């Protein structure tokens, strides 16, 4: 049995007007606020990418896709996830599974869970049973609880 490696990640982005809300590569319809960032600010996909890179000890997405590079302006993070997969593959690893939690007060994201899992799984070449996405609120506490932004945590296992 080949040894496995585990990575962990956390990300957060601020909610602002005039931006689409994209999570796990899925645009949430009619969301009044979207996440602010250089790319599409898909906080869930960012956490998954950083967990994968972390499991391979290959730094983080800020290193591989710097904000200073114009080609990443408005980039679709779900497409960059495919590039992360190539990076970890080149280092000799293959993903086994990923699991993530999105911390969000509003809107309710449950109806979009499977669409997010499908997009993440497709980008990673994984089965749906190897991609977990969960949602929780922060019970009104702190900045995330006040709805000022959305955060995400993820773990990834590589072999």
Minimum CB separation from Mg ion for residue 3, in Å? Answer: 29
Minimum CB separation from Mg ion for residue 82, in Å? Answer: 17
Minimum CB separation from Mg ion for residue 93, in Å? Answer: 22
Minimum CB separation from Mg ion for residue 2, in Å? Answer: 30
Region 37-96 residues binding Mg ion, contact defined as CB under 5 A: 46
State the number of binding residues for Mg ion (CB under 5 A). 2
Closer to Mg ion at the Cβ: 69 or 114?
69
Taking CB atoms, the residue at the shortest distance from Mg ion is 46
* Identified binder of Mg ion from the candidate list 11, 40, 50, 105, rule CB under 5 A: 11
Stretch of 3-11, 82-90, 122-130, 151-159 lying at the interface with Mg ion (CB under 5 A): 3-11
Closest CA to 33 of 6, 54, 60, 15: 15
Which parts of this chain interact with Mg ion (CB under 5 A)?
Answer: 11, 46
């Amino acid at each position: 049995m080949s040894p496995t490696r585990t990575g962990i990640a956390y990300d957060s982005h601020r909610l602002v007007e005039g931006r689409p809300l994209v999570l796990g590569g899925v645009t949430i319809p009619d969301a009044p606020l979207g996440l602010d960032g250089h790319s599409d600010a898909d906080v869930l996909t960012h956490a998954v990418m950083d967990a994968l890179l972390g499991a391979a000890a290959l730094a983080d997405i800020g290193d591989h896709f710097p904000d200073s590079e114009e080609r990443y302006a408005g980039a679709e993070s779900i497409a960059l996830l495919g590039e992360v997969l190539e990076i970890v593959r080149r280092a000799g690893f293959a993903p086994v599974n990923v699991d993530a939690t999105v911390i969000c007060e509003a809107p309710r994201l449950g109806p979009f869970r499977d669409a997010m899992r499908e997009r993440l799984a497709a980008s990673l070449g994984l089965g749906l049973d190897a991609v977990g996405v969960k949602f929780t609120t922060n019970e009104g506490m702190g900045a995330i609880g006040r709805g000022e932004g959305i955060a995400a945590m993820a773990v990834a296992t590589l072999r």
